[in-house]
Amino acid sequence: DLLREPEKLAQLIESAPGGVINAAAMTDVDGCEKRPQEAWALNVRAVEIAALACSKKGTRLTTLSTDYVFDGVKGSYAEDDPPNPRGVYARTKRAGEEAALILASDVAVCRVAVVYSGHPAAKKTFAATALESLRSGKPVKAFTDQVVSPTLADNAAEMVIGVHRSRAQGVFHCAGATEISRIDFCRALAGKLRADESLIVPVLLADLKLPAPRPLKCGLRVDKVRRLLGASLPLPLDAALDRFLAESRT
């Protein structure tokens, strides 16, 4: 339990035979606004502990981060674009990135975005909810004004593990290869299902009064990870949706 016994993380790393991939985080964006101390403990303090322990042991650390470190004004972000996080979640994730990059001696930061999976036991996501609704003939609300880089979970894992094993250091965008609005994502999914596109209801993120701010144009460029791991690894949306649907049928 990273909240109650964070020191046990260092003990675990000291006994670990190889490298460490840190995927633990508080990812409830609105929950972070309501519980900022918990967000700091999980998204920053835990990374600090892991980075120091890895540095002491000479162990490689790869830690996951998010597209939300950007403000969503420019869009199509590369790894060297300056972050400008908005909201508690975004600021704590950026602080976690900085902690890892400063404190660990052998480190990679892998930013992922809008992760989804078709596996039945996986966390319910926007994509999974849209799939369920379209298959059932129910309406799906989708943002027209938010552009993202949807990332199939298994593909994200392939890229993160690839970066970790490569020993390359620095920041990498381990996201899907297609930047797309959420409504066009749903339309592409409907096309795969041969579902009625009129079920997709356009809404504006900018009109919603949510506790935490969301970046509107937060697509991630994947040129760097493609050069490192090969052109086929960041999946384009068409291929990712095929795998997503295959997963959902298992």
Neighbouring C-beta atoms of residue 83, cutoff 10 Å: 18
Instruction: Select which of 68, 77, 89, 116 is catalytic.
Output: 89
Question: At 110, is the secondary structure helix, strand, or coil?
Answer: strand
State yes or no: is 89 an active-site residue.
yes
* Rounded Cα distance, 51 and 93, in Å: 14
Element (H, E) at 203: strand 200-203
CA 226 to chain centre: 17
Q: In whole angstroms, what is the distance from residue 20 CA to residue 164 CA?
A: 9
- Look up residue 122 and give its two tokens: 């996986």
Query: Which tokens go with 20?
Result: 């460490």
Helix-then-strand count for the chain, H and E: 10, 10
Show which residues are catalytic: 89
